Structure 1
Amino acid sequence: MLGDERYLYLGFHGCEKQLAMEILLQKKDFHQSTNDYDWLGSGIYFWENDPQRAYEFARDVKQCNEPFVLGAVLDLGYCLDLTCRKHVQSLVSVWSTIVRPIYDSGNIKPNKPGRNVGENGELMLRFLDKYVIESLHKFNEAKGFEAYDSVRAGFWEGQEIYPTAGFREKNHIQICIRNPKCVLGVFLPKR
């Protein structure tokens, strides 16, 4: 079926050097992030094909003592790929039928800039986005639908690289792995 192909992806994860070494030696697993502002929901976050952004995140946002980057080979499995229209439509449906009434009543925090505001006021604390995505996961579970193994989406961040550009200096694609079995292996990227 069109659009259901499976591919391998390279993801990069920024963390403390000590944790990276323990993951490489299979003494520990990747930490599943469960912050209430994680924009793609709970899971293990990777920067697709971008070790530099993973390092900058570990250094600047996580403020690691020894920022480090691990590479991972990922099979996204059954992926909620928000670069594809059909998956965006799933979020629109969940928003309009399940989440919007709760949001309108004031019981869900909106997305907001937060402490680590992007250069252009990007909404870095994505409370509402997480709520919508987690609501989709709960809906699928309640209906007995297949659970998503991962979530993938693009994020436009930073300054325009030239006037009226559709490109920004920190654009990236992020992957959230919900099913740890999708991490096929880890490696040290070349510096």
Structure 2
Amino acid sequence: MYTTKSGLILGFHGCDEHVALDILLQKIKFKPSENKYDWLGKGMYFWENSPSRAEQFITNLYNNPQKDKPKIEKPTVLGAVIDLGFCLDLTDYYCLQTLKDAYEYYCDLQISSGWEILENTNPKNFLGNPDNLWRQLDCAVINLHHKFREDNELLPYDSVRGVFVEGNELYPTAGFRDKNHIQLSIINPNCIKGFFLPREKE
């Protein structure tokens, strides 16, 4: 019963300016990401309460264009007011155990079908980051978890929330890294109550 979150939070997404404005004016819808390496499975991605991290991410993409991604013309941060609803919250012990069960189910399914068990990988020098940025395994397990619930007519998750330790040590022997963040994957678009452009403090 504690998996349903109460209250509203703010999420931030880095994108090109024209995309942000078109979403604000409701000319286009916010499209969910469905890459095989997405950290939290399919969904609409936001940094929780961190416009600065969203800005750093999209600026990095602007400075380091990716061959398989549209070129960023003007880096922009889009804000969203979000109700997480029924959330697979991977900061919660119970949710972590359900995901571990989903991993074991995934392994049994892959082995019995003669398919490979995916791994999270570190693409060489991707944006200069040493972490396993391509989360093929995590993505597959989370998506299978959703499919299992759907097939068994269980209440579907509205969102997924996870804490990620990422980047370099903040200082020697630090227990913190310079890109630690909380990431959100919004599955149910009705969780997003509105969009806005962040403003500077006066």
TM (norm. structure 2) is 0.87
80-89 vs 57-66, which moves further = 57-66
Question: In structure 1, what is the Cα distance between the partners aligned to 2:127 and 2:176?
Answer: 15
Output one character per residue of 1:152-182: Cα deviation in whole Å (capped at 9) or x when no partner. 0011111111222221111000000001111
Q: Output one character per residue of 1:17-48: Cα deviation in whole Å (capped at 9) or x when no partner.
A: 00101111111111211111001011110000
Match of 1:184, SS state, is strand
Residue number in structure 1 paired with 2:7:
7
Distance in 2 between residues matched to 1:122 and 1:60, nearest whole Å: 16
Number of the residue aligned with 2:156:
147
Equivalent-residue separation in structure 1 for 2:2 and 2:83 (angstroms): 18
Partner of 1:185: 194
2:46 corresponds in structure 1 to 46
* Offset of residue 81 of structure 1: 0.4
Is 1:164–2:140 an aligned residue pair?
no
CA distance in 2 between partners of 1:48 and 1:89 (Å): 23
- Paired with 2:153 and 2:142, the residues of 1 have a C-alpha distance of 17
Match for residue 108 of structure 2 among 81, 91, 101: 101
- Root-mean-square deviation (CA, aligned residues, Å) is 1.9
CA shift, 1:58, in A, is: 1.7
Check the 8 A contact 1:119/1:159 in 2, yes or no.
Answer: no
TM-score with structure 1 setting the length: 0.92
Aligned equivalent of 1:128, options 130, 133, 137: 137
Q: Distance in 1 between matches of 2:46 and 2:175?
A: 23
Percent identity over the alignment is: 47
Q: Does 1:75 align with 2:78?
A: no
Distance 1:75 1:26, change over 3 A: same
Name the SS for the 2:29 alignment partner.
coil
SS of the residue corresponding to residue 46 of structure 1 reads: strand
Contact 1:111 1:128 (C-alpha < 8 Å) held by counterparts: yes
CA distance in 1, matches of 2:75, 2:132: 24
Aligned residues: 190
Q: Quick check: 41-50 or 54-63, which moved more?
A: 54-63
In 2: Cα distance, 1:44 partner to 1:2 partner: 23
- The correspondence of residues 54-65 of structure 1 with structure 2, limited to 5 A, is 54-61=54-61, 63=65, 64-65=72-73
Per the TM alignment, residue 102 of structure 1 is displaced from its structure 2 partner at its CA by: 4.6
CA contact (8 A) 2:3 2:87 kept: no
Please tell me whether residue 32 in structure 1 is matched to residue 40 in structure 2. Answer: no
Q: CA deviation at 1:59?
A: 2.3
